[in-house]
Amino acid sequence: MTFDIKEDIRVSYQLDDETVVYIDCDVYEVDIDRGIDIEEGVFARPSVGTATVSLMKDSLSDLVSGPAYRSDMPFQIEYNDGSWKSLFYGYIQNISMGYVATTGKLQVTITAYDMTRVALNTRLPSFSITGSATQKSFKTVMDNLEDAVRAVDSRTAWAQDGSGGSATASNDYFEVEVISGDVMNMILDAELGWFWATPNGFCSWKTRNDINSVQGTTWSSSNPTISNVHSSSANHYCMDAIDYSYNSDDITNVVKVTETGGLATATSTNSTSVADYGRQAQDFEVNFWNTSGLGTLGAWASQVSAAANPRSVKSVSVPAVRRDGTLSTIVDKDICYPMQVEFSAGGTTLQEIYLISRIGHTITSEHWEVNLGLWRGI
């Protein structure tokens, strides 16, 4: 079907009785940004996704009498590609509005946050990690953390995206009046796992083994590819822009890791990376139970040092609507999807696979641009 931005994007909020109300207006402008942040070149830290919607309305009733929508109401942005699908789901954070004299219309701006905010910012009365290796495994702790968060705020729910087993188990842990995000980052750092909010109001996470499985994807001409080399394939996404750069501070090829609260340490040196790019050393401390001598610590250190390549594609931008007027399947791709990138310039062609780390959408009445943050990953 031919995609019409003015007709095939809709925005809604949900009343207390769960009635869904679609906002009627003249023009939408939408900005969405969600995904993970990369810290210290190693850690995939979940971050709160946001959506900002600016719209123009003929009626001034929302300003004069107050709008029916308010902060903390469920809020959704959807697109139609034959059926309506969610592009963003969360809760309204802020509403601002004002009369625009030049147009004689009411301008309304709604800012919303996704479900990562609830997952990361819930204050827990207490949280503990104890028991056997299985009871302290990453997967079990993630499940227990979800239960603890939902006992305080039931709006959020999350589940594993994959079937891989835990790579780590946590040390014993107990804190009172603790913020859920502090616990989550602690166990994610040890596991080298990922956590993010989907567009559908749920959150997903992956173990290190899940991530390794995704990273095992090999290049294929039949796989979805973002490229500046033209093709008519439905799996070809035309590249509008690319950030392809080299930064040696982004890597760590000499790694030392220490077990939190213990004396065990392990090191790993990527000699090839050191020879090619120079020595970049960093010490880390992670909270996991080193159950097999230096095996777990050593595997963690090796995983980090093995990824030491300073040359990478940081981001790409592609149009959401194809030249034939149909909607590109790029809008269906979510965080941690293995995306192929092909870039040809100066007599050199790059063909590499990256994991999607951030997703941005910029939508006006005339154009829809998709901005993807990419990470080769650990």
Domain match, 123 and 145 both: yes
Q: Decide: 157 and 150 in contact? Cβ < 8 Å.
A: yes
- pLDDT tens, 317-354? 999 999 999 999 999 999 999 999 999 998 899 999 99
- pLDDT tens, 278-296? 999 999 999 887 665 445 8
Range of the domain at 243: 218-247+310-357
Give the three-state DSSP class for 156: coil
Phi and psi, residue 342, nearest 5°: -120, 125
Going by the DSSP 8-state scheme, the letter that residue 326 receives in this structure is B
Mean pLDDT for the stretch of residues 127-150: 95
Report residue 218 as tokens: 């090999």
Phi and psi, residue 87, nearest 5°: -105, -25
State the average pLDDT for the chain.
93
Evaluate whether residue 131 is within a structural domain.
yes
- Pick the last residue of a domain from 213, 234, 263: 213
Nearest to 148 by CA among 170, 185, 123: 123
Please state the domain count of the chain. 4
Domain match, 346 and 263 both: no
pLDDT at 375 over 70: yes
- pLDDT tens, 50-101? 999 999 988 888 888 888 899 999 999 999 999 999 999 999 999 999 999 9
Domain match, 189 and 70 both: no
Predicted local confidence at residue 295, as pLDDT: 59
Q: What is the DSSP string of 271-286?
A: HHHHHHH---EEEEEE
Domain match, 73 and 130 both: no
Rounded Cα distance, 253 and 269, in Å: 6
Task: Kindly give, in sequence order, each residue whose CB lies less than 8 Å from that of residue 143, ignoring residues fewer than 6 positions away.
Answer: none
Rounded Cα distance, 86 and 54, in Å: 18
Q: Is the dihedral of CA 236, 241, 247, 249 positive or negative?
A: negative
Domain match, 241 and 205 both: no
- pLDDT tens, 302-320? 999 999 999 999 999 999 9
Mean pLDDT for the stretch of residues 205-234: 93
Evaluate whether residue 366 is within a structural domain.
no
pTM of the prediction? Answer: 0.95
Between 263 and 366, name the one with better pLDDT: 366
- Pick the last residue of a domain from 57, 81, 113: 113
Report residue 207 as tokens: 């173990």
pLDDT at 248 over 50: yes
Predicted local confidence at residue 378, as pLDDT: 83
